[in-house]
Structure 1
Amino acid sequence: MTRAYNFSAGPATLPEPVLAQAAAEMLDWRGSGMGVMEMSHRGREFDEIFARTELRLRELLAVPAEFKILFMQGGAIAENAIVPMNLSRGGVTDHVVTGLWSIKTRQEALRYGEAHIVASNAADGAANHTTLPAPATWRLSANASYVHVCSNETINGVEMHELPDLRALGCDAPLVMDCSSHIGSRPIEWTRVGLAYAGAQKNIGPSGLTLVFVREDLLGHALPFCPSAFDYAVVAANGSMYNTPPTYSIYIAGLVFEWMAAQGGVAALEQRNIEKATLLYDAIDGSAFYTNRVAREARSRMNVPFFLPDDRLYAPFLAGAEEHRLLQLKGHKSVGGLRASIYNAMPLAGVQALVTYMREFAQRHG
């Protein structure tokens, strides 16, 4: 049976070599006599896996030495609470609203203090997240503990291709970034970031693992009621082993990092991602049948929402796509339409197959 092209927004497709290696090592990891899921997180075998995974991740993303890398659980949804418990100090936090995920982040932050909306792309309605507010227009608070952005909105298909320079805006607060759906797809401007977090289930591996990159000077400020397992300083001091980490997800992430390095690293993957996104957006823009509502300068390379001219066509489009082994193309229920997520592991051939099917469908139904 041949594998399909899986356009799911997450959990998402993984590189085939990674799956093949994981399958080969399922029962016996490198002669240890046990699989990774069976290993103690404090044993020498997993210690080797963990150390290699962290080192390769730091190399791939060029993470500076002053940042701690934490391997946590709960996904970005949990970080919406964990971040303010660690960084807000019970005061004001600033939030840039660019889609449904940044809305959820701000709503959770309200449980721990004031959470100001300093910019929004929903001026014409809550669902109109199709542009990005220019940083020069942000109404930043004078006393914010941090400024939060979601640099790629998976549902709405908008991406900040350049991170804001808060210092140039006269703001001393650290930038906190949810980069779940573009991590590993492009370099990160670490000089502009205080903390970044990402669920692994899009570009990195299976669900269950959350990566947190936190600048050391931001550690040690957790609110008194913050659980110890969520206190970044405690997690960092214990090398992400304060509680049992998601060991198998970390192992798969390590295999993905090795695959990324073999592809030429993040810079090479970024160029490949630009090529894939350009191919798909050109097919949409060059058609009178499909539409994408996001401003060109704000379009995501990872998540491409698009719409048909008649709601009655969605069911036959999705049915035909499945027959062509093109899966998980239904748009998120909050916005409807269609969506193709084209993360690092989606090969160019997958996007080419999708574009070919889209053209054939438009010819039949246009």
Structure 2
Amino acid sequence: MKHNFGAGPGILPHEVLKQAAAAVVDFNGIGLSILEISHRSPEFEAVLDEAVKLVKELLEVPEGYSVLFLQGGASTQFAMVPYNLLAGNAKAAYVESGVWANKALKEAKYFGQVDVIATSKESNFTYIPKDYEVPADAAYLHLTSNNTIYGTQLHHFPKSPIPVVCDMSSDIFSRTINVADFGLIYAGAQKNMGPAGTTLVIVKDELLGKVDRKIPSMLDYKIQIDNGSMYNTPPVFAIYVSMLTLAWVKSKGGVAAIQKENEAKAKVLYGEIERNPLFKPVCATEDRSNMNVCFVMENAELEKPFLKLCDERGIIGIKGHRSVGGFRASIYNALSINSVYALVEVMQEFAEKNK
């Protein structure tokens, strides 16, 4: 058995994979593959409608917000957000909490002034910046809720006098949020929602249409809303698998139930890291991520032998990002707590062998 701790594309529920695999051959008994039906067909329109409905239901999206399934990943949103929200003479406030936040603010600089109001770069992003002042005259505040590379997570969102834009690519649907606290949320699908290929955007309608610049049609939120995420051919299969995954989340009891499972998994793994003398965590305790658990060896020479043992035991994808080193166990929604126990057993076995 393989235990997939990969950071992304991440693990998907087994039952979702079985449904998706069957639909590749014959979608809902119509004699055609989900890969070859028209995106304008009633069959796919029903898929897209259900996906949007599930997002609204699971996150309790209030009236006045639109839900989009777009392309280009979160990286395209780095530019699309300021394109649509940042006028040329305005400024935006960014909190730099990791590589992806840094990439987002670099893209925003093409469209207006960017103020980095807080950063943890000097510590190699081992903590989430806090105690900063949000400028009331900025167009929006940009946050990154979870940092996959460094294993940090924003557990409490700041109160803001301006609209909050948040990249939730790696923890969307992993915990309850109050959508009304945000002006725009975006998330690549490939961690907790589906396969790579589609990006979820939830945007407050009243924020749009306020910049003077001409926006290319594909990058204009209003045009995408008016066309129901189908200005061009959408990523049909990615949206379909995302719909299946969202239905799976609902069947598990919704986001609140998933959150309890994620917290339990994180508690088990962080507990072993703290208990086991061979390992140690790398980021501030209060900012530890419940999605990406990063840790290192007390003795770096033991890293390769530990990874070898993990591979032998079916523990996949835990090698840390090159900028941090060590290990990273991504414990996304679809990862069973039994897989966490399997990793813990390997850690304990390795400690016994290396006393």
TM-score past 0.5 threshold: yes
Match of 1:149 in 2: 143
Give 1:115's aligned amino acid: V
Q: Which deviates more, 215-224 or 154-163?
A: 215-224
Q: Which deviates more, 5-14 or 137-146?
A: 137-146
Secondary structure of the residue aligned to 2:26 is coil
Match of 1:12 in 2: 10
Secondary structure of the residue aligned to 1:36 is coil
Give 1:138's aligned amino acid: Y
Deviation sequence 1:139-182 (CA, Å, 0-9, x none): 3334211000001111111111121111xxxx2x2000001110
Offset of 1:99 from its aligned partner? 1.5
Q: Which deviates more, 25-34 or 350-359?
A: 25-34
Matched, 1:208 2:197: yes
Q: Which deviates more, 314-323 or 226-235?
A: 314-323
Match of 2:39 in 1: 41
Secondary structure of the residue aligned to 2:171 is coil
Secondary structure of the residue aligned to 1:26 is helix
Say which of 216, 219, 224 aligns to 1:230: 219
Q: Distance in 1 between matches of 2:340 and 2:212?
A: 46
Match of 2:50 in 1: 52
Q: Distance in 2 between matches of 1:363 and 1:17?
A: 36
Match of 1:248 in 2: 237
Q: Distance in 2 between matches of 1:27 and 1:197?
A: 31
Identity of matched residues, %: 43
Q: Distance in 2 between matches of 1:324 and 1:27?
A: 33
CA contact (8 A) 2:146 2:154 kept: yes
Give 2:317's aligned amino acid: Q
Q: Distance in 1 between matches of 2:129 and 2:60?
A: 28
Deviation sequence 1:184-214 (CA, Å, 0-9, x none): 0011122211000000000001001100000
Runs of 4+ aligned residues of structure 1 deviating over 3 Å after TM superposition are none
Q: TM-score scaled to structure 1, two decimals? A: 0.94
Say which of 290, 293, 296 aligns to 1:307: 296
CA contact (8 A) 1:163 1:189 kept: no
Match of 2:107 in 1: 108
Offset of 1:222 from its aligned partner? 4.9
The alignment's C-alpha RMSD in Å is: 1.3
Matched, 1:158 2:142: no
CA contact (8 A) 1:200 1:209 kept: yes
Segments of 5+ residues of structure 2 without an aligned counterpart are none
Offset of 1:223 from its aligned partner? 5.5
Q: Give the aligned length.
A: 354
Secondary structure of the residue aligned to 2:51 is helix
CA contact (8 A) 2:194 2:238 kept: yes
Secondary structure of the residue aligned to 2:94 is strand
Match of 2:178 in 1: 189
Offset of 1:226 from its aligned partner? 2.5
Secondary structure of the residue aligned to 1:82 is helix
Q: Distance in 2 between matches of 1:142 and 1:196?
A: 20
CA contact (8 A) 1:164 1:192 kept: no
Pairing of 1:1-366 with structure 2 (within 5 A): 2=1, 4-90=2-88, 91-122=90-121, 125=122, 127=124, 129-134=125-130, 137-166=131-160, 171=161, 173-222=162-211, 224-366=213-355
Q: Distance in 2 between matches of 1:38 and 1:318?
A: 41
CA contact (8 A) 1:222 1:231 kept: no
Segments of 5+ residues of structure 1 without an aligned counterpart are none
Give 1:312's aligned amino acid: E
CA contact (8 A) 1:147 1:176 kept: yes
